[in-house]
């Protein structure tokens, strides 16, 4: 995400994609004619990696409609049929001969109408009644999530609340019938992660918050901590740790030892760390 529409974000995204996934021997990059894609800086990167650039013709934005519909159908299942094939492509084929370019634009508008109707009809067929809430519309299956008594949320505003949070986690686990060992590990892991966040993320003079979430689902214990501090990926930090220097990053080593699985995600300025014991 970026506050400005410049080439910085798109250039960084392209380099990250190549760094993570590599580059095929023959690669075509298609985009619209946005200034960030037509800039010299972005085009130089394409030339650097021998990527063939592709753009729609000037004044013909509908050239992208088929390609955009294709990728939409790749991402979704039921809605992809409505949104990609029926909603846009077939409507474009029907309207373009009659209205030309304007017909393609009209098809995109009708696509939104058709997709909305499809969502409502699907919810009615699934629930056997007209949808009464957002949950009904997005067709959340029965049994999704956990009841309130099987989850615990703890806000963290300062370092003093970290120890108290650990005690609350252990008490929650004991109340749910989780053995003392795993209850202790859960409290210890969250205490180490929360302490690391408050020590290194809360020290920039800006207001920050963090939240711990504990969920017991089936036979699994899921722990999640979310904060709005600067990005920090504990998995990458663990990979760079010296296995011989056991005195460095003790907190992360504890989490690495007791966590069965760990996931990290950074979205919209929020760091989310999820571990499973």
And the tokens for 187?
């409290």
C-alpha angle 219-220-221 in degrees, rounded to nearest 5: 130
- Architecture of domain 148-276 in this structure: 2-Layer Sandwich (3.30)
The pTM assigned to this predicted structure is: 0.49
Q: What is the DSSP string of 76-89?
A: -SHHHIIIIIIIII
Q: What is the dihedral of CA 11, 35, 69, 23, to 10 degrees?
A: -30
pLDDT tens, residue by residue, 174-217: 998 888 888 888 888 888 888 888 888 888 888 888 898 888 88
Q: Is the pLDDT of residue 79 over 90?
A: no
Q: Where are the beta strands (DSSP E) in 48-203?
A: 52-55, 151-156
Q: Are strands 220-227 and 210-217 parallel, antiparallel or unpaired?
A: antiparallel
What is the Cα 124 distance to its own chain's centre?
A: 29
259 versus 65: the higher-pLDDT residue is 259
Average pLDDT value for residue range 230-259? 68
pLDDT tens, residue by residue, 17-68: 887 777 777 788 887 777 788 888 888 888 888 888 887 665 555 555 555 5
What 8-state DSSP symbol labels residue 150? Answer: G
Dihedral of alpha carbons 226, 228, 229, 230, sign = positive
- Of residues 109, 235, 214, the one with CA closest to residue 170: 214
The answer to whether 66 and 89 have CB atoms below 8 angstroms apart is yes
Q: Where in the chain is the domain with CATH 3.30.565.10?
A: 148-276
CA distances from 68 to 80, 108, 229, 234 (A): 11, 11, 35, 35
């Amino acid at each position: 995400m970026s506050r400005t529409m410049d080439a910085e974000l798109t250039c960084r995204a392209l380099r990250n994609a190549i760094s993570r996934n590599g580059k095929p021997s023959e690669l075509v990059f298609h985009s619209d004619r946005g200034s960030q894609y037509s800039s010299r800086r972005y085009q130089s990167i394409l030339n650097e990696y021998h990527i063939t650039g592709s753009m729609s013709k000037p004044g013909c934005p509908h050239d992208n409609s088929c390609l955009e519909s294709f990728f939409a159908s790749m991402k979704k299942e039921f809605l992809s049929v409505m949104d990609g094939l029926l909603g846009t492509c077939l409507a474009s084929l029907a309207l373009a001969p009659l209205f030309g370019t304007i017909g393609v634009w009209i098809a995109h508008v009708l696509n939104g109408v058709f997709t909305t109707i499809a969502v409502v009809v699907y919810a009615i067929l699934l629930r056997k009644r007209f949808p009464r809430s957002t949950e009904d519309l997005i067709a959340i299956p029965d049994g999704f999530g956990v009841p309130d008594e099987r989850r615990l949320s703890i806000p963290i505003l300062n370092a003093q609340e970290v120890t108290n949070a650990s005690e609350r986690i252990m008490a929650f686990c004991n109340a749910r019938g989780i053995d003392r060992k795993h209850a202790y590990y859960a409290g210890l892991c969250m205490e180490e992660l929360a302490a690391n966040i408050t020590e290194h993320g809360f020290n920039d003079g800006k207001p920050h918050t963090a939240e711990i979430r504990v969920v017991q689902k089936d036979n699994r214990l899921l722990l999640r901590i979310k904060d709005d501090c600067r990005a920090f990926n504990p998995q990458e930090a663990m990979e760079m740790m010296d296995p011989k220097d056991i005195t460095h990053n003790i907190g992360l080593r504890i989490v690495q030892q007791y966590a069965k699985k760990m996931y990290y995600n950074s979205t919209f300025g929020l760091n989310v760390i999820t571990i499973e014991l």
